[in-house]
């Protein structure tokens, strides 16, 4: 039952943050499912305020990692290949938004348009992925 809930949450996460493809197996181990459940729960958390003014994309991801308590993995070589720079300045001012929604906005801003980046949850970590890529970071 718990694994079914987690699988449903993964589907919901993927649709809410862009539906990124992944090469990981569809059925995680019990330990991984538990870790993933914690990461997925963090994505549902409402952030009271997020304010950035010209802050680099990598620093924004570090901030989101710190406030969520979940590691965010960004494969900078793959991101750079699609034109996403670690130091790209970002400006964002939102209040009372879910972490998943904030992350989605950050990914769209980093890429300069929707449909380029997404994320998935693997081994309890949020992994930034390039949509449509045949291989992913882990």
Q: Which domain holds residue 26?
A: 2-130
CATH of the domain at 63: 3.55.50.30
| Residue positions counted in the chain | 138
Residue 87 lies in a domain: yes
Tell me what pLDDT residue 135 has.
Answer: 53
Number of domains in the chain: 1
Which pair of tokens denotes residue 90? 């970002």
Band (pLDDT 50/70/90 cuts) for residue 31 is confident
Residue-wise pLDDT for 56-81, tens only, equals 999 999 999 999 999 999 999 999 99
Q: Is the pLDDT of residue 8 over 70?
A: no
List residues bridging with 120 in a β-sheet: 127
Question: Smallest Cα–Cα separation from 99: which of 58, 62, 67?
Answer: 67
Residue 137 lies in a domain: no
Tell me what pLDDT residue 25 has.
Answer: 52
Band (pLDDT 50/70/90 cuts) for residue 105 is very high
Residue 76 lies in a domain: yes
Residue 9 lies in a domain: yes
Residue 54 lies in a domain: yes
> CB of 42 within 8 A of CB of 70?
yes
> CB of 129 within 8 A of CB of 84?
no
Which pair of tokens denotes residue 133? 């890529």
Residue 135 lies in a domain: no
Residue 138 lies in a domain: no
Residue 16 lies in a domain: yes
């Amino acid at each position: 039952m718990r694994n079914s809930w987690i699988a449903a949450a993964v589907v919901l996460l993927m649709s809410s943050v862009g539906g990124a493809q992944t090469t990981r197996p569809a059925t995680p181990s019990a330990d991984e499912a538990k870790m993933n459940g914690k990461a997925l729960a963090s994505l549902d958390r409402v952030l009271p305020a997020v304010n950035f003014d010209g802050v680099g994309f990598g620093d924004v991801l570090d901030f989101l990692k710190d406030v969520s308590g979940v590691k965010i993995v960004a494969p900078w070589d793959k991101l750079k290949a699609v034109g996403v720079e670690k130091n790209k300045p970002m400006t964002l001012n939102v209040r009372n938004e879910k972490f998943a929604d904030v992350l989605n906005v950050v990914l769209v801003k980093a890429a300069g348009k929707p449909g380029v980046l997404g994320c998935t949850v693997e081994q309890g970590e949020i992994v930034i992925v390039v949509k449509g890529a045949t291989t992913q970071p882990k």
